[in-house]
Homo-oligomer: A and B are copies of this chain.
Amino acid sequence: MSNTPVTRKLAEWIVGLQPSDIPANVQSEGVRTFVNWLGCAIGGADHETADRAIAAFTPFSGSAQASVLGRTERFDVLHAALMNGITSHVLDYDDTHLKTIIHPAGPVASALMAVAEYQPVTGEDFLAALIVGVEVECRIGNCVYPDHYDRGWHITSTAGVFGAAAAVSRLLRLDVEQTVWALGIAATQSSGLREMFGTMCKSLHPGRAAQNGAAAAFMAAAGFDSSERSIEAPRGFANVLSTKQDYSEILDGLGSRWESALNSYKPFACGIVIHPTIDGCIQLRAGLGDAVADIEKVELVTHPLVLELTGKKTPRTGLESKFSVYHSAAVALLYGDGTPTAFTDEMATDPRVIALRDRVSAEARKDVDEDAVHITVTLKDGRRIEHHVEHAIGSIHRPLTDEELDAKFLGQAVRIIGEDKTRKLIALAWTLPRLSNVAEISAACAPASSKAA
């Protein structure tokens, strides 16, 4: 526990921050975070995970207040937040705060966008709320990482629900006391198990975090109270869900050190820890040419987390294949692909992929960085080709450029809403800070068959 009123001090910062207090580079990264999230939400819109969630909740949804981006269905604000949280994460193609492996935008932006269709929100307010929400979740993540994650919590949802609550609290203009309550209502709903990785529940997590975080803010606005010390109390979030608590990570340098500026964007549609392997295998493929067909074995030397998180030897579905470094290496060598098409049910059962996948082995070594890998390919004639990736593409050292983010967006959204709409939407999304009403964006995400306002 801490004698410092951590929750209250954080609430004071959430309430007091002015958009003009946010440095230009942090604002720019916030827009990149938004653009990347929007493309992912549309790209995941037709996944069967979303279909099934929509089928389950349609009978219970309220009025058509907000969009499922890239689909024709509209739901009440809370269910829309849920659905966009699911779709933006289901392809494992979103963003990553590398210090905590939190995927920050899903819980926060999904909640904000749904609220922004319910009450008018300017782009300036939206961006500030997004940055505040991401800052809150990443700082709470830093407070408990890595013990909390190691214990088995999916930190994107356990910390994400705080981010969503903080962000929506700003849009609702809650005062400090109400914001303390919103954080408390979020804390007591914090949940999500890593055991669910490879199943539909993984993307349910940021969906519920968005929905429950938004609900926490609406409840606090209605006077629903909570503990005043939900984060730091002896039986608060940090003590109950973690063995490590470093509250200085939450409060120190608020407003000067920006975790939200450290966000990164995935070039590949799978767990961030596989990225060096895919990056390296795609590079190797260029040199191998037709010799890819003559591979005897592939040996990887990786950071230990790679095998812990993505050690599935025989993935049966697309969702499971995202947690197989063996599958990922095989697809990257055979097809040069790490995008969503590399992780479909079809690809998981492709005989060529299975044959090569079974020739891939991996060794975990603590002296290998998380964004690095050593790859050795041995051909049937005995030749050995070695390759070292020092910093994978998409890492903080080799971030995606704005143009690469555009290409990633196009690759996801064209299939859903067509090229013309996608290009216009991308241009519009980059203007976020200057929009008078952010609902303009969600309207522009509707597929042709939709009559969404």
Contact = CB atoms under 8 A, between A and B. Distances in A.
A223 B62 CA distance: 22
A193 B188 contact: yes
Contacts of A234: 152, 195
Interface in A167-218: 184-185, 187-196, 199-201, 204-205, 208, 215, 218
A154 B187 CA distance: 13
Contacts of A240: 151-153, 193, 195
Given A59-B62, A240-B152, A190 B191 contact: yes
A199 to B, nearest CB: 5
Nearest to A236: B195
Sorting the interface of chain A by its residue count into under 10, 10 to 19, 20 to 34 or 35 or more gives: 35 or more
Contacts of A219: 52-53, 56-57
Contacts of A77: 59-60
Given A191-B188, A236-B193, A237-B193, A52 B152 contact: no
B193 A191 contact: no
B193 A224 contact: no
Interface of A: 49, 52-53, 55-57, 59-62, 65, 76-79, 151-154, 184-185, 187-196, 199-201, 204-205, 208, 215, 218-219, 221-227, 229-230, 233-237, 239-240
24 contacts: A56-B221, A60-B62, A60-B65, A60-B76, A60-B78, A152-B234, A153-B240, A154-B188, A184-B201, A185-B204, A188-B196, A189-B192, A189-B208, A193-B230, A193-B237, A195-B229, A195-B236, A196-B226, A196-B227, A199-B227, A200-B224, A200-B225, A200-B226, A201-B227
